[in-house]
Each structure stands twice: as structure tokens, then as C-alpha cells.
Amino acid sequence: MAKANKIKIGKVRIDSPTALAPMAGINNATFRYFCKKYGCGLIYSPMIHCEALIHNKDHVLEKLAFSKDERPLVIQLIGHKAESFPKAAKIIEKYADIIDINFGCPDDKIIESKAGSWYLDHLDKMKKVVNALTSATKLPVTVKIRTGFSRNKTEEIIKVLNECNIAAITIHARTAKQKYSGKPCYDEIKKAKEISIVPIIANGDIDDNNMQEVLEYTKADMVMIGRKAIGNPFIFGNQKVNPKKFIKEFFEEYLRREKVYKVDELRQHLCWISCNFEGAAKLRSEIMNCKTIDEIAICIKNNT
């Protein structure tokens, strides 16, 4: 576990130098709750499309099921129209402590829509988006980037962002072209920290085994954990939890917290948790065959 290192992003105080990455399709209300419970300092919402939020507000907010006990909360927005960010921000301001802009998503469809990491090669457009949002909200605005689109150009990006009124920068230590392959280049985060005028959050293949090393090497203010936390929210506190008991606890909390039940989403989370105990493979198989919430409840009752 990373050593205590209280920092501030804008006026938001953070008690632990760890953040949960804004993973679409994963960061439901239940998962966010457990990451917070087990020691995560800064919770991120899943990536939210500005246009979807603007045109289908009630459905999007119901699905996200924000709660006070996960705060401080960062709500991340993604989009391709600068004018959409202020509109989306007005909808989510009351739920958020910080608003983050996604300039790093490497998904091909996102890039084709001129959003996410597309901006890494269009820094004038990036600056326009940031200025549009920071002018429209009093909340701290942060950004999440990669080291570049097809080549590393972190310093060039940071210099542009230094001209904007942002409160922090998260850097995934790969280019967009790399997606999630190859070794992360923490040297780029170290370079960014040397010239950035705001806190830096290091991201990319970080877990409880290397987070302190990454913090010390890059001099970053915080680390962000994504894929390594899936099925393992206790990573933030380096705690050992009985997975069979946690399956039941996760299911019960899911029923309490989620406003929209999704069987496929719940099955996937339970399968991620179901590992490292006798009978885990059998339980995963049974869970995946469940078609309803009631069937999942019976399966858990019979196996935990």
C-alpha cells in the first residue's frame, strides 16, 4: 500500500494517494462503494458521454446511482463538441467534487468520433474543450491523458495544459496506439511532474506491489489503479478478504445500491471475485448460467 500522502485537488482534500480509474462498464455504484470502503482516496465515475447525458439525463443518472458515501467523487466526461461539456457539467455538478475530461480513451470508435485520445494530436482543440468547461463550472477540472497518440510527447501536452485553469492531470504511461500493450513508460510521467504546475496522477499497470515504487520514481502526487482493482477492490488497502464471504456481501450491496439491475453486469463482477478458493470454477460456471437476479441469489446461497 502507498504511504499516506494527503493532497489537494482544487479545494478537495484527499486522504490517500490512490484513485480508482474511470472504467466504463465496470465502475458501477457497488464496485465504487467497495473501493472506497477498502481505502481508495479518490473515486472516479465510469466514463460518461456528454451527449448521452444531455439527451437522456434521467436514464444515465439512474444507472450511475451516485451516493454521498463514495465522495470525494470525480465524474469523468468524454465528448467531441466543446460546447457539450458545459451543458453536461451543469447536470452532474451537484453529484461531483471534481469534473474530469477524458483525453486518453484509445477505443477506435471513440477516436473515430474525434473524442478521447484523438485530442492528443489536436492540442488546440483540447485547449478549447478545457477552457469551455473551466469557464462554466466552479468545481475543479482535471484531465486524463496518455503520453501521446502514436509517439510520446508528454512534455508538449503538459505545456499546453499549463496554460489552462486545470487542477490536476492523470497520465496513463502509454500512447493511445499502444492501448494496453507493452510496458508503461513511467519516465514520461516523471518528465511531466518536473514541468507541471498542478498535481500529477500516475496510471498504467499499477497495483499494490509497485505503487510506492512508482510514486517515488516519478514523484507523482497520486497513483491511479484500474484493471488490477477489478474483482479486487481491497487492493487499495492491501487487505485480505475471504472471497466467498465477499461474493455474498457484494451481491447484497448490489441489491441495495443499484437503481437499475443488470444481470450480465452482476454476473461478471461476481465471476471476477470468484477466484482462489476451492470450488471457484464451479461457482463461476453456475453464476454465468443464471438468467435472473433470483437465480443468482439461489446460486450464492447454495455455494457460500
The residues carrying an active-site annotation are 105
Read off φ and ψ for residue 159, nearest 5 degrees.
Answer: -60, -40
Please give the Cα distance from 34 to 246 (Å, whole number).
10
The CA distances from residue 294 to 151, 256, 263, 272, 280, in Å, are 49, 15, 10, 20, 20
The CA distances from residue 299 to 86, 273, 292, in Å, are 45, 15, 11
Q: Tell me, what amino acid is at 298?
A: I
CA 280 to chain CA mean position, Å: 27
286 DSSP assignment: H
- Helix ranges (H only) for the chain are 29-37, 50-55, 57-64, 84-92, 108-112, 123-134, 154-161, 186-195, 211-218, 243-257, 263-273, 280-288, 293-303
Which is nearest to 217 in space by CA: 10, 28, 2? 2
SS3 59: helix
DSSP state string for 172-238: ESS-TTTTT-S---HHHHHHHHHH-SS-EEEESS--TTTHHHHHHHH--SEEEE-GGGTT-GGGGTT
CB 15 within 8 A of CB 41: yes
**Residue where the block lists cell 472504467:** 23
